[in-house]
Amino acid sequence: MTSLVSNLRSLFLESFKAWFELLKIMIPIIIGVKIVAELDLLKYMAMALEPLMHLMGLPGIMGLVWATAMLNNIYSAMIVFVALPESFELTVAQVTILSTAILMAHALPIELRIAQKAGTRLIFQGLFRVGTALVLGILLNLFYEWGGWLQHANTVIWRPQPQPDGLFFWIIDQIRNLGVIFLIILVLMAVLRILDRIGATSLFIRLLTPFLRALGIGREAATITVVGLTMGLAYGGALIIREARSERIDSQDIFFSLTLMGIAHSLIEDTLLMMLLGAHLSGILFIRLIFSIVLIFIMVRIQALLPDIFIHNYLYPLSKSEVKS
């Protein structure tokens, strides 16, 4: 009984410490994003995105939806989407393209800060996520038009419940969200401990090692990769930072793991959210995942040819032991 209480106490304290580290990242950014929204500055970001939306075969007004996703989160973008009359004139292909771009580049202030804390360069991660989202959006548009696929009218099956206005309700909502994140971290920590105890973690890592090795990701980074791909950077951020800061994982493994999960994370929850808007699985899951894996595979080969100074300055910091001789 004493051992059980001690383990529960240790679990709670470890989860709280990880959650507190995440709060130090999230709270200032949440407040900053709220100020930007209140000053109505988002529309200027949306205007800058209009030409890019046309490249993806989308109306310029959809830039407001993507801008909301990038600055805030997916849920906010969904609310903006259903509020625009133009959204209900889109084809399934167009909604799939927009949704894929959103999934690859959203909640950037928080998620890029988490990636930076875990050991990657913020500017590269930001440019990479937005750039690859744009490239895949353009390719999807060409692909769907070439095959004449998904060109029928889209059907939105989700309508948001009216939310109360006012700063007080916003604060309560944010506190609730942060509380949910703590509970998720607590559950994740507990599950990881149980998996370690029964030996499932070792088995899972052995099964994943050949696949991760082909992508240039060492077996030690398997845990954070799986957490990011399934839970996402925001929910799994505390665990990702904790594991990335351990001395067991090389900087290169951290970089490629975070780069992969940056454009392909929360594969279950976020994919289902986009399906509520009418997006098709072909783009938001299958093509996006294949594109992400192939891209990381190519990047590993390119990175091996780059000089240390470039890697250190623009991709991720190198330790003295990792500098090429």
Rounded-to-integer distance, Cα 281 and Cα 274, Å: 9
Residue 324 predicted with pLDDT over 60: no
Read off the tokens for 108.
């950037």
Nearest CA among 270, 256, 266, 265 for reference residue 298: 256
Residue that wins the pLDDT comparison between 234 and 267: 267
Mean pLDDT of 223-243: 79
The 10s digit of each residue's pLDDT in 64-91 is 999 999 999 999 999 999 989 999 999 9
Mean pLDDT of the chain: 88
Sign of CA dihedral 314, 324, 224, 22: negative
Q: Is the model's pLDDT at 285 over the cut of 60?
A: yes
Residue range 274-280: mean pLDDT, rounded: 96
How far is residue 97's CA from residue 294's CA, in Å, rounded to a whole number? 19
pLDDT tier at 63, thresholds 50, 70, 90: very high
Q: Please, where are the H alpha helices in the chain?
A: 2-38, 42-55, 62-71, 74-83, 92-104, 108-118, 122-147, 167-198, 200-214, 222-231, 237-245, 251-263, 269-276, 281, 288-303, 308-310
Does residue 18 or residue 96 have the better pLDDT?
Answer: 96
* pLDDT number for residue 325: 45
How confident is the model over 152-161, as pLDDT tens digits?
Answer: 999 998 877 7
Distances (CA, A) of 65 to 28, 40, 120, 173, 222: 23, 14, 27, 21, 33
Helix axes 251-263, 222-231, angle to 10 degrees: 20
Of residues 213 and 299, more confidently modeled: 299
Among the listed ranges 30-39, 50-59, 119-128, which one has the minimum average pLDDT value?
30-39
Instruction: Look at the pTM and tell me if it is higher than 0.85.
Output: yes
What's the pLDDT score for residue 6?
80
